Amino acid sequence: MDLLNRYSGIDDPDLQYMALRELTSDTLADMEEPIMTKLVTSIFIPALSGNDLPIANLVSLELLPTVAQFHKDLAARGIIQPLSMVLQGDWSFQDERTSRLLVTLNNVLQRLSGKIPGCGVTEKYAQFVIALPHRTYLSWEVLRRLLETQDSDHVTDLTFGELYRLAIEDVRVAGFEALRIASGSVHSHVVAKAVNANPLEAGHLKLLTHVSLTSHSFRTCYAPVLETLMENIHEFSLGDSLLVIQNLMVWLRQSRIEDNPQAKEILRQKILSVCVNLVAGEDDQDMTFSDQEIDFESDEDIPDFSDEEYASVDDEEMKTSDFAVKVLQILPLTLTDAQIHLVIQSRASRNALADFVRGRKIGYELLAKKFPDEKDPEIIDEMPLDALRCLLLSPVVQKRIDFLRGPSVVSEDDSLETIQTVLLAREQLEGVSKTQILQSIARSLDSESSSLMDFQVALDTLLLATKLQAFENYQDQMLEIVLPQLKPNKNFVKTLKAGNLKQTIDDGSVLRLSCYTLIKHLKPSYEKTLQILDACIDRGFKDEVNVKDAALEVFMQFFQRTWSELRIRDSSWFQIEIIPKIRERIEKNATQLRATATSQQLADSERSLRGVGRLTQFLDPYVRIVRDDFAT
């Protein structure tokens, strides 16, 4: 307050500037909010519209951004809101004062970390951007930052459509990014309307490379976008088309409950047809989905590209072939042997073919025959022995051969303690050794004669393997070993009798706790992750209270990890199967215990109810999102 009084009593701009320079970051960070609010409203904001440039720059570049950094609540209502309101009646962006306000707003937003409470300015600022006669990078960048920093402050559907059109006109990355963020907050019908209202030309395609990153927003228009791109590949940048296709291809992956399986399969086959024709060399400018397809039953239809033809292909044809191969790499369809052969023998570049083989884990031997001089250790280290025999011998190839031919460092008769010693001592393990280790662990867990201690040692060994890079590609296999162990083992359940009373004791609960701890360390595929969610609901949520709590932690961890893909592929499954199951578990947990319940049973029941409350609170936002997604 002393500074405020001194500043107000000074008429000399130089002395005012010196007074403001006394405000260090520590001073602003420790200042009480009422005093800080008074400084912002009485000195800082007015200074931006004043005639003294040094003071205005000091406030814009240092003071207001520092205040926002340390006082996030004040930043929303005391800085961002007033600055945005001043801009509403100031449509002449060429005006120096307006430029200064925009720069300040951008500086403030840039200094913020994380989200801030919505202050109701985003829609109004968006209208300011729309009304500008000339939208600069900075005007779009401020909009992007406003959308990014506020959870509950979005643009209206009509405003989104207008911003979409202007972003195409301006072709600015900041505008594309603003629309990408905005698309995540409007309904998919709004995105579809904006997409359909603008011709798919170069600028629009550039925008789609950004907006399509928010894949869930394309629920109602992914199919026509993919179809248009594949039908008109010669009209667009292949690089931009590929980015959009990669972002939207998730919609064509298999779902547990398919909403429209026939339409998806038709689209997959159409994309396959175009790509097959491209890699076969059918490079017609007017090619559409109805073009004649190659007959894979006849060897005569499969082109044979000689080295001479391969060397003479120009850059444009190479790009087209690469595009087709990269699309086939991610297309969720099983390719036939003839189709794989066609791809490997195509005009596509060496790198594109290597990515295709590695991405789909197929065609290693064909690739080795085509490029016998391959020396890249990344792909050689994935090749099976048959493919390696087709390569010219080199140190890298010989190392891989020795690795595959080498005997396992463990045997069937080795104890789990011995296997643990091997795991701790070796950084690399041959494939045969890793397979033998997992088989030994699985046998110990499947054995009827194994004791509680044997099971625990087996789980400890598997946990050790999950932490090693050598088992990075064995995540699904390790999960398959541990999932059956989440079911109570009757060998470890016993019943104690005391008169007419019976008490069931499950010594195996400690093993199931270890299983859930182990699962937390895994990074399985999407399909296996859904199996984890199933197991938590069907087994974990029905288990003893300690195990139930562990299952809840695992469920929330893997649900969050897979949510973005689950929202697209399996939101129907989430609505139809998962939510009803969870509600059933919640209702059973809420059932009152009998009057004869012990104090321990009552304590466990209260703990279960707290877990149910956490689960409900966790899932509620996702349930609302899915309902909104399916709303018409």
- What pLDDT is attached to residue 289? 40
Read off the pLDDT band of 277 (50, 70, 90): very high
Tell me which of 607 and 387 has the higher pLDDT.
387
Which band of pLDDT confidence, cut at 50, 70 and 90, is reported for residue 80? confident
- pLDDT of 151 reads 72
Give the 3-state secondary structure of 26-87: HHHHHCCHHHHHHHHHHHHHHHHCCCCHHHHHHHHHHHHHHHHHHCHHHHHHHHHHHHHHHH
User: Residue 26 has which token pair?
Assistant: 């520590």
Q: Are 486 and 540 in contact (CB under 8 A)?
A: yes
- Report which of residues 610 and 386 the model is more confident about: 386
**Residue 628 and residue 600: Cα distance in Å, rounded?**
42
Q: Which of 5-19, 129-143, 383-397, 613-627 has the lowest mean pLDDT?
A: 5-19
pLDDT value for 10: 76
Strand partners, 258: none
Average pLDDT value for the chain:
86
pLDDT digits (tens, 9 = 90+) for 575-625: 999 999 988 887 776 665 555 566 766 677 777 777 788 888 899 999 999
* 65: nearest Cα among 108, 124, 115: 108
Q: Is the pLDDT of residue 225 over 80?
A: yes
- Alpha-carbon span 601 to 588, nearest angstrom: 15
- Asked whether residue 94 carries a pLDDT value surpassing 60, the answer given is no
Q: Mind listing the pLDDT tens digit for each residue in 368-380?
A: 999 999 989 999 9
Give phi and psi for 496, each to the nearest 5: -105, 140
Strongest mean pLDDT among 280-289, 420-429, 527-536: 527-536
What is the chain's alpha carbon radius of gyration, rounded to the nearest angstrom?
A: 31
Is pLDDT above 50 for 293? no
> Residue 591: its pLDDT value, please?
65
- pLDDT (mean) for 181-204: 94
Question: In DSSP terms, which residues pair with 116 in a beta bridge?
Answer: 150
Decide if 63 contacts 44 (C-beta within 8 A): yes
